[in-house]
Amino acid sequence: ERLEAESAVNAEWYASRVARLAAEQEVGLAATEWGRFIACSERPNVMSEAEVNAFLTEWRERSREDIWKTLPTCTMATELIASMDVEGAHAHDRGDEKMAMWQRELSMLIFEQLLSKLDGATADFMLHAEEYVNAKMECCVTVAARGCHFGLWVNLAKNPRVKSIEYANLNISVELPKSLALASIAVRIVQYETDFVSPYASPEAAAAATFMTLGGVVKIELLSLPPSAKKVKGWTMRPVTEMTHTVMRQQYPIPDASGNIPLNAPPLRITYAIPKNVILQESEPQRVGWWDDKVQQWKLDEISDIAYTPETRTISFDTLHLTSLALLQHTHLELPYKNWLISPTTASSGELYLQTSGVGLVHISISANGTVLKAPRLPELKELLDTPLPASTLLIRLRAAGINLMPRDVDATQLERVTPKDASLEVELHDAIAPLAARYHLCSSRWNPSRGHAKGTLRFAVKEEGYGDEAPSTETPAEPFAVIQPEWATLEYAKRRVLLIAATDADDTCDESALPETVAHSTPLECLKDRDPDLADVLLSSSRLYQDSVRQLMDNLRLLSFTQSA
């Protein structure tokens, strides 16, 4: 009853916090909208469902164009989808589930239309392939469009001496078995800068995934050739078939005349370049997987002889699966976290230091303007460093670069002694403790992992030295965790119940009894306001956008679920 009474008394104060956050968000969204306006971008506003729908409708109704006119529009589509994926995650973090849902749905429809446009342009090229042969009777077209590299080899010569296809300007090659060199087929490769495959798996398949892609996805397909044109009295006669309008895919190995699939078919060897903004960690062996549409998961079977060449950043491998292929990395490579610390620099800014099991120390500055990556300062992260971004945007781009700091419950199954907290507890806890980042150091507690899924513990201490400087240093200290003291107080959080407990990290056992002269409260603020008379004034002066950035980071990082303190 006392906890319920506290909640009732504080209802007005919490309502005012919600109103302040909404007002600050409105100012931020207005500034973002103005930035889009003065940029005069041709791309539709990804926060406007009407604009995105209008783009999709206009593109769908546009007549078929050749491959050189189609690819620039595909570039815009890939950039639009990537932006919508990021904005959708940010909308989810803000609690705008309606926007997140329509952005995901429209992203899927735009990608379906992209595939349809590529098929139409490919069919158009193959109808006139004989017009594009070179002096060696070879027919190969490449378009290095941004975000969507396209290559198509049409086998008109059927020359048994052809051993490989070099897709000029794409840094992609395919070694062919003799059976394909003699077949009436085309080999199409599309390299997407972003993974447009696994993010659109079913929620159940996505929740079970333990691999993520590095460097986008390469899709290779065998296509049937349309019937040849005939010259009759100066006229060119082209049969009208299904392949006049779209492509017809072939399986590999190609069935024989009786429909039987040959046994022991030789694999194709594929080589392509990994982008320079992708980190390949030495502790992780190179794995290449193929996408199984039926189960909506990446699989590793029947891909062999994988070789990586650091000098050219190329990956080579043999495969019998001609479908979406990608370099894969385990999603839990950075886990478990070894330590973390959130340290305020002013009432509206702070620093997050996170020690991971992969790249090591990650340093993120937090303010009302969002989050800024300060470390690790790796060349692959050059475009991300020192740039303000929403929390989810930064973490999504770090994941694309090979640093996954967005763990899910399935990652715990790959680790020892890691028990994720209940999802509802995490959300409630992060929302409750984020305001404390305006005044307190917050850090991991050695007792947190052993509290199970229904409780969480963390430590805190008032930040005094250097606090409130107008221009705080954001350089990464050599020993950021040296400030943490074993005697710092421990806060224990359960559903709608917060308690300052006797246990500290200096103790041999966890004493969960209340500190002298304290009782359980409904929120951390109730626990601390009598002990810290300045807390209320600090929170009034603190930006709600800063506090919400802390909350969003914690929601995504899941620090209390995936930290194993030493």
Q: Where are the domains of the chain?
A: 42-127, 130-330, 339-562
Q: What confidence tens digit (pLDDT) does each residue in 445-471 have?
A: 999 999 999 999 999 999 876 666 555
- Residue 264 pLDDT: 84
Cis amide prior to 262 (ω within 30 degrees) = no
Residue pair 82/195 in contact by the 8 Å Cβ criterion: no
- Residue 327 pLDDT: 97
Q: What confidence tens digit (pLDDT) does each residue in 219-259 have?
A: 999 999 998 777 777 777 777 788 888 999 999 988 877 77
For residue 211, list its beta bridge partners: 330
**Would you state the structure tokens that stand for residue 412, as one six-digit string?**
């715990």
Residue pair 373/384 in contact by the 8 Å Cβ criterion: yes
- Residue 317 pLDDT: 98
Q: DSSP labels for 478-492? A: S-GGGG--TTSEEEE
Q: Which residue has the tokens 């103790």?
A: 507
Determine phi and psi for 114, rounding to 5 degrees.
Answer: -60, -45
Q: DSSP labels for 15-56? A: HHHHHHHHHHHHHHHHHHHHHHHHHT-SS--TT-HHHHHHHH
- Residue 239 pLDDT: 76
Q: What is the mean pLDDT of the chain?
A: 90
- Residue 468 pLDDT: 62
- Residue 11 pLDDT: 65
- Which helix (DSSP H) or strand (DSSP E) does residue 75 occupy? helix 67-94
Provide the pLDDT confidence category of residue 412 given band limits of 50, 70 and 90: very high
Q: What confidence tens digit (pLDDT) does each residue in 182-195 have?
A: 999 999 999 999 99
60 has pLDDT over 60: yes
Q: What confidence tens digit (pLDDT) does each residue in 472-512 have?
A: 556 899 999 999 999 999 999 998 789 999 999 999 999 99
For the ranges 94-98, 255-259, 524-528, 529-533, the lowest mean pLDDT is seen at 255-259
Identify residue 551 by its one-letter amino acid code.
Answer: R
Provide the pLDDT confidence category of residue 310 given band limits of 50, 70 and 90: very high
- Residue 194 pLDDT: 94
Provide the pLDDT confidence category of residue 37 given band limits of 50, 70 and 90: low
Cβ neighbors of 492 (< 8 A, separation 6 or more) are 451, 455, 456, 457, 498, 499, 500, 501, 512
**For residues 150-160, average pLDDT:** 91
DSSP class of 514: B
For the ranges 16-25, 165-174, 369-378, 456-465, the lowest mean pLDDT is seen at 16-25
30 has pLDDT over 70: no
- Residue 135 pLDDT: 78
Q: 130-330: which CATH number, 2.60.220, 3.30.310, 2.60.40, 2.60.60?
A: 2.60.220
What are the strands, taking DSSP E only, across 91-244?
139-145, 148-154, 164-167, 172-175, 185-192, 211-224, 230-232, 235-237
More confident residue, 133 or 399: 399
Question: Given the DSSP bridges, would you call strands 456-462 and 489-494 parallel, antiparallel or unpaired?
Answer: antiparallel
- What percent of the chain is modeled with pLDDT above 90? 73
- Residue 180 pLDDT: 92
Q: What confidence tens digit (pLDDT) does each residue in 159-182 have?
A: 888 899 999 899 999 999 998 999
Provide the pLDDT confidence category of residue 565 given band limits of 50, 70 and 90: confident
**For residues 64-83, average pLDDT:** 94
Residue pair 209/410 in contact by the 8 Å Cβ criterion: yes
CA distance 519 to 499: 7
- Residue 13 pLDDT: 64
Residue pair 240/227 in contact by the 8 Å Cβ criterion: no
Question: Given the DSSP bridges, would you call strands 314-319 and 268-273 parallel, antiparallel or unpaired?
Answer: antiparallel
The three-class DSSP label of residue 9 is helix
Rg, C-alpha atoms of the chain:
28
**For residues 127-152, average pLDDT:** 91
Residue pair 492/501 in contact by the 8 Å Cβ criterion: yes
276 has pLDDT over 70: yes
The alpha carbon torsion through 260, 261, 265, 268 (nearest 10 deg) reads 130
Distance of CA 146 to CAs 143, 323, 324, 421, Å? Answer: 9, 21, 19, 41
Provide the pLDDT confidence category of residue 420 given band limits of 50, 70 and 90: very high
Helices H, strands E: what count in the chain?
14, 23
**Would you state the structure tokens that stand for residue 191, as one six-digit string?**
């390299």
The three-class DSSP label of residue 362 is strand
Identify residue 469 by its one-letter amino acid code.
Answer: D
Closest by alpha carbon to 500, among 548, 451, 442, 458? Answer: 458
CA distance 71 to 122: 11
- Residue 411 pLDDT: 96
Closest by alpha carbon to 393, among 46, 18, 37, 43? Answer: 46
Q: What pTM was computed for the model?
A: 0.91
Provide the pLDDT confidence category of residue 26 given band limits of 50, 70 and 90: confident
- Residue 7 pLDDT: 63
